[in-house]
């Protein structure tokens, strides 16, 4: 792959990744609620999910989603329901979840595995990335060069950009964590982030095949 092609792809991908969405909100939520290690695992789950969706796009699932109304609706409803579920759970959380006394319990392997799983599920239950990959890859692929090599370059670039961007969001959110230590502010954080998750879920329901 030519360097100028890769640089152009990187710029387009970064613009898409930097736009706030469910993965960004989840990274910020984990950073403020727990620590950067929790965000690392949720972002890793998101990156693995992106690899799965990119592979699905290359295998033709993106075309199927664009042509099959039933399958597209199934993916869309599943993803929306999961986001709304997370939002309701976050919205109804009571008390301050930011106090340090709970960190010992949060550092268990099972806890981080659950955070990884949530990051993975938030990613793969959203049909938008599959369609995005289906539309994004063809202009940057050279049919005369090995496609598998190009696929790994494009996908790994997207995964690394996504992971790095999520960690940056989380780092800056972590800097403001002390602001949320009061009970009232913690409750507001729960309600606002929960409401945004719910809004993103309903927004996903309005996604159309374009």
Domain spans of the chain, in order of start: 23-29+36-205
pLDDT band at 99 (very low <50, low <70, confident <90, very high): very low
Mean pLDDT of 147-158: 87
Q: What is the pLDDT of residue 6?
A: 87
Least confident of 11-25, 28-42, 52-66, 165-179: 52-66
Maximum average pLDDT range among 32-36, 106-110, 173-177, 179-183: 32-36
Q: How far apart are CA 99 and CA 106, in angstroms?
A: 11
Query: What rounded mean pLDDT belongs to the chain?
Result: 76
Q: Is the pLDDT of residue 122 over 80?
A: yes
Mean pLDDT of 34-62: 85
Cβ neighbors of 18 (< 8 A, separation 6 or more) are 165
Q: How far apart are CA 28 and CA 35, in angstroms?
A: 10
36: enclosing H helix or E strand:
helix 36-58
pLDDT band at 42 (very low <50, low <70, confident <90, very high): very high
3 state SS of 19: coil
Mean pLDDT of 10-35: 80
Q: What is the pLDDT of residue 103?
A: 43
Residue 146, sorted as left (phi over 0), alpha (psi -120 to 50) or beta, turns out to be beta
Mean pLDDT of 120-148: 77
């Amino acid at each position: 792959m030519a360097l100028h092609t890769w640089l152009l792809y990187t710029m387009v991908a970064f613009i898409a990744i930097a736009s706030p969405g469910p993965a960004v909100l989840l990274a910020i939520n984990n950073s403020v609620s727990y620590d950067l290690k929790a965000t690392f695992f949720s972002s890793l789950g998101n990156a693995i999910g992106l690899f799965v969706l990119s592979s699905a796009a290359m295998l033709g699932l993106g075309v199927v989603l664009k042509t099959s109304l039933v399958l597209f609706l199934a993916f869309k409803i599943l993803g929306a329901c999961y986001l709304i579920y997370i939002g309701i759970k976050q919205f109804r959380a009571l008390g301050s979840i930011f106090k340090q006394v709970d960190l010992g319990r949060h550092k268990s392997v099972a806890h981080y595995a659950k955070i990884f799983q949530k990051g993975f599920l938030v990613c793969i239950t959203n049909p938008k990335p599959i369609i995005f990959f289906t539309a994004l890859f063809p202009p940057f692929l050279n049919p005369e060069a090995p496609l598998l090599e190009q696929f790994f370059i494009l996908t790994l670039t997207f995964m690394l950009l996504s992971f790095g961007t999520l960690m940056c969001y989380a780092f800056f959110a972590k800097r403001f964590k002390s602001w949320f230590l009061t009970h009232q502010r913690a409750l507001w954080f729960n309600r606002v982030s929960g409401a945004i998750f719910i809004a993103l879920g309903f927004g996903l329901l309005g996604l159309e095949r374009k």
